[in-house]
Amino acid sequence: MRADKEQQSDSEDLAYDGGKLRLFVPDLLAEGAKVAPDEGQTHYLLHVMRAREGTRVLLFNGRDGEWRAEVSGVTKRSCELRCERQTRQQEGVPDLWLAFAPIKKTPSDYVAQKATELGVAVLQPVITNRTIARRVNLDRLRANAIEAAEQSERLSVPDISEPLSLTQLLQRWPAERHILFCDEGGDAAPILGALSRAGRGPWGILTGPEGGFDPAERALIRSHALVTPVTLGPRIMRADTAALAALAVWQAVLGDWGHTPGL
Protein backbone atom coordinates (compact mmCIF):
# COMPACT_ATOMS: atom_id res chain seq x y z
CA MET A 1 0.00 0.00 0.00
CA ARG A 2 2.81 2.39 0.88
CA ALA A 3 4.57 1.71 -2.43
CA ASP A 4 1.32 2.41 -4.29
CA LYS A 5 0.94 5.75 -2.47
CA GLU A 6 4.56 6.69 -3.27
CA GLN A 7 4.01 5.83 -6.95
CA GLN A 8 0.81 7.88 -7.00
CA SER A 9 2.64 10.80 -5.37
CA ASP A 10 5.42 10.56 -7.97
CA SER A 11 2.87 10.70 -10.79
CA GLU A 12 1.19 13.75 -9.29
CA ASP A 13 4.53 15.53 -8.81
CA LEU A 14 5.60 14.81 -12.38
CA ALA A 15 2.32 15.38 -14.21
CA TYR A 16 1.26 18.45 -16.18
CA ASP A 17 -1.73 18.57 -18.53
CA GLY A 18 -1.80 14.79 -18.73
CA GLY A 19 1.92 14.51 -19.50
CA LYS A 20 5.17 14.39 -17.54
CA LEU A 21 8.06 16.78 -17.11
CA ARG A 22 10.96 15.10 -18.94
CA LEU A 23 14.28 16.54 -20.02
CA PHE A 24 17.12 15.17 -22.13
CA VAL A 25 20.51 16.03 -20.63
CA PRO A 26 24.08 15.05 -21.59
CA ASP A 27 25.18 14.56 -17.97
CA LEU A 28 25.89 11.32 -16.12
CA LEU A 29 22.78 10.16 -14.27
CA ALA A 30 23.17 8.25 -11.02
CA GLU A 31 21.86 8.37 -7.46
CA GLY A 32 22.81 11.71 -5.93
CA ALA A 33 24.18 13.14 -9.19
CA LYS A 34 23.56 16.85 -9.68
CA VAL A 35 22.62 18.24 -13.09
CA ALA A 36 22.65 21.90 -14.10
CA PRO A 37 20.00 22.41 -16.83
CA ASP A 38 21.02 24.67 -19.71
CA GLU A 39 19.57 28.15 -20.16
CA GLY A 40 16.66 27.03 -22.31
CA GLN A 41 15.74 24.17 -20.00
CA THR A 42 15.95 26.44 -16.96
CA HIS A 43 13.59 28.96 -18.57
CA TYR A 44 11.20 26.16 -19.51
CA LEU A 45 11.19 24.70 -16.00
CA LEU A 46 10.96 27.90 -13.97
CA HIS A 47 8.99 30.27 -16.18
CA VAL A 48 6.89 28.05 -18.46
CA MET A 49 6.13 25.07 -16.23
CA ARG A 50 6.41 27.11 -12.98
CA ALA A 51 8.60 24.49 -11.30
CA ARG A 52 9.57 25.29 -7.75
CA GLU A 53 11.81 23.91 -5.02
CA GLY A 54 10.96 20.22 -4.65
CA THR A 55 9.27 19.78 -8.05
CA ARG A 56 10.21 16.42 -9.56
CA VAL A 57 11.41 15.97 -13.14
CA LEU A 58 12.34 12.92 -15.19
CA LEU A 59 15.80 12.97 -16.81
CA PHE A 60 17.36 10.77 -19.50
CA ASN A 61 20.61 10.89 -21.47
CA GLY A 62 20.41 7.90 -23.81
CA ARG A 63 22.80 5.85 -21.65
CA ASP A 64 21.73 5.60 -18.02
CA GLY A 65 17.99 5.01 -18.26
CA GLU A 66 15.45 7.41 -16.83
CA TRP A 67 15.90 9.09 -13.45
CA ARG A 68 13.60 11.00 -11.14
CA ALA A 69 15.23 14.23 -10.05
CA GLU A 70 14.22 17.00 -7.68
CA VAL A 71 14.48 20.70 -8.46
CA SER A 72 16.62 22.53 -5.88
CA GLY A 73 18.69 25.68 -5.47
CA VAL A 74 16.09 27.78 -7.29
CA THR A 75 16.90 31.40 -8.12
CA LYS A 76 15.36 33.69 -10.74
CA ARG A 77 17.65 32.38 -13.47
CA SER A 78 19.03 29.06 -12.30
CA CYS A 79 18.27 25.82 -10.57
CA GLU A 80 19.79 22.42 -9.96
CA LEU A 81 18.39 18.94 -10.54
CA ARG A 82 19.40 16.24 -8.06
CA CYS A 83 18.91 12.61 -9.12
CA GLU A 84 16.97 10.55 -6.59
CA ARG A 85 16.34 7.14 -8.16
CA GLN A 86 16.14 5.35 -11.48
CA THR A 87 12.59 4.92 -12.76
CA ARG A 88 13.37 2.96 -15.95
CA GLN A 89 16.39 1.04 -17.16
CA GLN A 90 17.93 1.98 -20.49
CA GLU A 91 16.16 0.49 -23.50
CA GLY A 92 17.34 0.46 -27.08
CA VAL A 93 15.43 1.09 -30.29
CA PRO A 94 15.49 -1.08 -33.42
CA ASP A 95 18.60 -0.72 -35.60
CA LEU A 96 16.75 1.35 -38.20
CA TRP A 97 18.03 4.33 -40.16
CA LEU A 98 15.98 6.84 -42.12
CA ALA A 99 17.81 8.27 -45.12
CA PHE A 100 15.60 11.06 -46.46
CA ALA A 101 15.92 13.90 -48.93
CA PRO A 102 15.49 17.19 -47.01
CA ILE A 103 12.34 19.12 -47.76
CA LYS A 104 11.41 22.68 -46.93
CA LYS A 105 11.75 23.67 -43.28
CA THR A 106 8.43 22.73 -41.67
CA PRO A 107 8.10 19.25 -43.27
CA SER A 108 11.72 18.45 -42.32
CA ASP A 109 10.96 19.44 -38.73
CA TYR A 110 7.90 17.20 -38.87
CA VAL A 111 9.92 14.25 -40.20
CA ALA A 112 12.49 14.64 -37.41
CA GLN A 113 9.78 14.76 -34.74
CA LYS A 114 7.66 11.89 -36.00
CA ALA A 115 10.57 9.65 -36.98
CA THR A 116 11.84 10.02 -33.41
CA GLU A 117 8.44 9.01 -32.06
CA LEU A 118 8.46 6.03 -34.45
CA GLY A 119 11.75 4.80 -32.98
CA VAL A 120 14.31 5.49 -35.69
CA ALA A 121 17.94 5.22 -34.56
CA VAL A 122 19.61 7.48 -37.15
CA LEU A 123 18.37 10.38 -39.27
CA GLN A 124 20.47 10.75 -42.43
CA PRO A 125 19.75 13.66 -44.79
CA VAL A 126 20.48 12.77 -48.44
CA ILE A 127 20.96 15.29 -51.24
CA THR A 128 19.53 14.04 -54.54
CA ASN A 129 19.34 15.59 -58.02
CA ARG A 130 15.84 16.91 -57.38
CA THR A 131 16.36 18.00 -53.77
CA ILE A 132 15.24 21.61 -53.38
CA ALA A 133 16.18 22.23 -49.73
CA ARG A 134 19.93 21.66 -49.94
CA ARG A 135 20.87 23.54 -46.78
CA VAL A 136 20.19 21.40 -43.72
CA ASN A 137 20.06 22.92 -40.23
CA LEU A 138 21.30 19.99 -38.16
CA ASP A 139 20.88 21.88 -34.87
CA ARG A 140 17.23 22.48 -35.70
CA LEU A 141 16.70 18.81 -36.61
CA ARG A 142 18.33 17.74 -33.35
CA ALA A 143 16.23 20.17 -31.31
CA ASN A 144 13.08 18.73 -32.86
CA ALA A 145 14.25 15.18 -32.21
CA ILE A 146 15.05 15.98 -28.55
CA GLU A 147 11.64 17.55 -27.99
CA ALA A 148 9.93 14.53 -29.55
CA ALA A 149 11.96 12.12 -27.40
CA GLU A 150 11.04 14.05 -24.25
CA GLN A 151 7.33 14.04 -25.08
CA SER A 152 7.12 10.44 -26.31
CA GLU A 153 8.88 8.95 -23.25
CA ARG A 154 11.65 7.62 -25.46
CA LEU A 155 14.94 7.01 -23.60
CA SER A 156 17.27 8.12 -26.38
CA VAL A 157 17.59 10.68 -29.16
CA PRO A 158 18.37 9.57 -32.72
CA ASP A 159 21.78 10.37 -34.13
CA ILE A 160 21.61 13.21 -36.68
CA SER A 161 24.16 12.64 -39.44
CA GLU A 162 25.78 15.17 -41.76
CA PRO A 163 24.09 15.37 -45.17
CA LEU A 164 25.49 13.16 -47.93
CA SER A 165 24.92 13.02 -51.65
CA LEU A 166 23.10 9.93 -52.85
CA THR A 167 26.33 8.61 -54.39
CA GLN A 168 28.23 9.14 -51.12
CA LEU A 169 25.46 7.44 -49.16
CA LEU A 170 25.52 4.32 -51.32
CA GLN A 171 29.32 4.19 -51.36
CA ARG A 172 29.47 4.34 -47.56
CA TRP A 173 26.47 2.13 -46.87
CA PRO A 174 27.38 -0.78 -44.54
CA ALA A 175 27.49 -4.07 -46.42
CA GLU A 176 25.28 -5.87 -43.88
CA ARG A 177 22.49 -3.26 -43.76
CA HIS A 178 19.39 -3.76 -45.91
CA ILE A 179 17.90 -0.82 -47.82
CA LEU A 180 14.14 -0.45 -48.04
CA PHE A 181 13.87 1.71 -51.14
CA CYS A 182 10.58 3.60 -51.41
CA ASP A 183 10.40 3.57 -55.20
CA GLU A 184 7.62 5.69 -56.65
CA GLY A 185 8.31 4.19 -60.09
CA GLY A 186 5.42 1.81 -59.58
CA ASP A 187 6.96 -1.53 -60.61
CA ALA A 188 8.09 -2.65 -57.15
CA ALA A 189 6.39 -4.98 -54.68
CA PRO A 190 3.90 -3.63 -52.13
CA ILE A 191 5.71 -2.79 -48.89
CA LEU A 192 3.75 -5.08 -46.57
CA GLY A 193 4.33 -8.21 -48.62
CA ALA A 194 7.99 -7.40 -49.23
CA LEU A 195 8.71 -6.89 -45.54
CA SER A 196 6.74 -9.97 -44.54
CA ARG A 197 9.18 -12.02 -46.62
CA ALA A 198 12.26 -10.14 -45.41
CA GLY A 199 14.63 -11.00 -42.61
CA ARG A 200 15.39 -9.08 -39.44
CA GLY A 201 18.65 -7.29 -38.79
CA PRO A 202 19.94 -3.80 -39.52
CA TRP A 203 17.83 -1.84 -42.01
CA GLY A 204 17.64 1.59 -43.54
CA ILE A 205 14.69 3.26 -45.25
CA LEU A 206 15.47 5.48 -48.25
CA THR A 207 12.94 8.10 -49.40
CA GLY A 208 13.23 10.80 -52.01
CA PRO A 209 12.47 14.52 -52.44
CA GLU A 210 9.26 16.21 -53.59
CA GLY A 211 9.96 15.37 -57.24
CA GLY A 212 11.12 11.83 -56.57
CA PHE A 213 14.35 10.18 -57.70
CA ASP A 214 15.31 10.64 -61.34
CA PRO A 215 15.69 7.54 -63.58
CA ALA A 216 19.47 7.40 -63.25
CA GLU A 217 19.21 7.53 -59.44
CA ARG A 218 16.57 4.81 -59.39
CA ALA A 219 18.83 2.57 -61.46
CA LEU A 220 21.81 3.30 -59.20
CA ILE A 221 19.88 2.48 -56.05
CA ARG A 222 18.42 -0.71 -57.49
CA SER A 223 21.91 -1.90 -58.48
CA HIS A 224 23.11 -1.73 -54.90
CA ALA A 225 23.35 -4.90 -52.80
CA LEU A 226 20.60 -5.73 -50.30
CA VAL A 227 18.07 -3.29 -51.81
CA THR A 228 14.36 -4.07 -51.52
CA PRO A 229 12.33 -1.71 -53.75
CA VAL A 230 8.77 -1.22 -52.53
CA THR A 231 5.68 0.82 -53.32
CA LEU A 232 3.52 2.54 -50.72
CA GLY A 233 0.12 1.95 -52.25
CA PRO A 234 -1.95 3.39 -55.08
CA ARG A 235 -1.94 7.04 -54.02
CA ILE A 236 0.78 9.65 -54.47
CA MET A 237 2.19 10.69 -51.09
CA ARG A 238 4.08 13.79 -50.06
CA ALA A 239 7.74 13.11 -49.34
CA ASP A 240 7.30 13.53 -45.58
CA THR A 241 4.20 11.30 -45.53
CA ALA A 242 6.01 8.56 -47.47
CA ALA A 243 8.92 8.49 -45.00
CA LEU A 244 6.64 8.13 -41.98
CA ALA A 245 4.36 5.59 -43.65
CA ALA A 246 7.35 3.38 -44.47
CA LEU A 247 8.65 3.67 -40.91
CA ALA A 248 5.29 2.67 -39.48
CA VAL A 249 4.96 -0.41 -41.69
CA TRP A 250 8.54 -1.49 -40.95
CA GLN A 251 7.97 -1.14 -37.20
CA ALA A 252 4.75 -3.16 -37.42
CA VAL A 253 6.39 -6.02 -39.36
CA LEU A 254 10.04 -6.12 -38.26
CA GLY A 255 10.31 -3.60 -35.43
CA ASP A 256 9.33 -3.29 -31.78
CA TRP A 257 5.60 -2.63 -32.09
CA GLY A 258 4.96 -6.16 -30.91
CA HIS A 259 6.83 -5.43 -27.67
CA THR A 260 4.77 -4.70 -24.55
CA PRO A 261 6.43 -1.97 -22.45
CA GLY A 262 7.49 -3.18 -19.03
CA LEU A 263 7.41 -6.86 -19.91
Residue 66: give its domain's CATH number: 2.40.240.20
Q: Residue 87 to residues 8, 59, 68, 154, 242: CA-CA distances in angstroms?
A: 13, 10, 6, 13, 36
Residue 258's pLDDT is 77
Dist CA 154 CA 186 (whole Å): 35
Same domain, 101 and 33: no
SS percent in the chain: helix, strand, coil, step 5 = 35, 25, 45
Could you tell me the pTM of the whole model? 0.89
**Phi and psi of 200, rounded to 5°?**
-80, 180
Range of the domain at 206: 96-253
Pair 164, 217 in one domain: yes
Give me the pLDDT at residue 187, please. Answer: 84
pLDDT score of 5:
47
pLDDT tens digits, residue range 214-252?
999 999 999 998 999 999 999 989 999 999 999 999 999
Question: How many whole angstroms separate alpha carbon 206 and alpha carbon 128?
Answer: 11
Q: Looking at residue 162, which CATH number applies to its domain?
A: 3.40.1280.10
CB neighbour class for 245 (10 Å; exposed up to 12, middle 13-18, buried from 19): middle
For the chain, what is the domain count? 2
